Amino acid sequence: DAMVIQNPRYQVTQFGKPVTLSCSQTLNHNVMYWYQQKSSQAPKLLFHYYDKDFNNEADTPDNFQSRRPNTSFCFLDIRSPGLGDTAMYLCATSSGSGLMRANYGYTFGSGTRLTVV
């Protein structure tokens, strides 16, 4: 089945130790998103790729970076994780362009639960 797969499902990292989360998709969607969801909060958009074009949200900390080497894969790099970065990280994809892309809805992966200790 076509889907969005995130690895690992659970990750524990030490304060300040770089960590990379991965996302792969078999949907051939041109847009990939990274969201951060803290406990009992709404998912918050960090950034997204439209094809190879990177779009960063204004309030995303510089500590968070992303790479998209090809259509299928997207990575979230946290250079120096802090305790406040403990959260669920969700990858999502969508297709289409402009308004229609938003209206199609997103396909989410199962998320990576990151704990910084």
Partner 1 sequence: TQLLEQSPQFLSIQEGENLTVYCNSSSVFSSLQWYRQEPGEGPVLLVTVVTGGEVKKLKRLTFQFGDARKDSSLHITAAQPGDTGLYLCAGATRSGGGADGLTFGKGTHLIIQP
| Interface with partner 1 (CB under 8 A) | 4, 6, 33, 35, 40-45, 48, 55, 57, 90-92, 98-99, 101-111, 113
Pairing, β 112-116 against β 107-108: unpaired
The answer for residues whose C-beta is within 8 angstroms of residue 98's C-beta and 6 or more apart is none
Q: How far apart are CA 21 and CA 11, in angstroms?
A: 9
* Cβ proximity to partner 1, 6 vs 78, nearer residue: 6
CA separation for the pair 24, 26 (Å, rounded): 7
CB of 93 to partner 1, least distance (A): 11
Q: Which residue lies nearer to partner 1 by CB, 10 or 83?
A: 10
**Residue 78 Cβ, how far from partner 1 at the closest point, in Å?**
19
Looking at the Cβ atoms of 5 and 79, the one nearer to partner 1 is 5
- Residue 71 beta carbon to partner 1: minimum distance, rounded to whole angstroms: 19
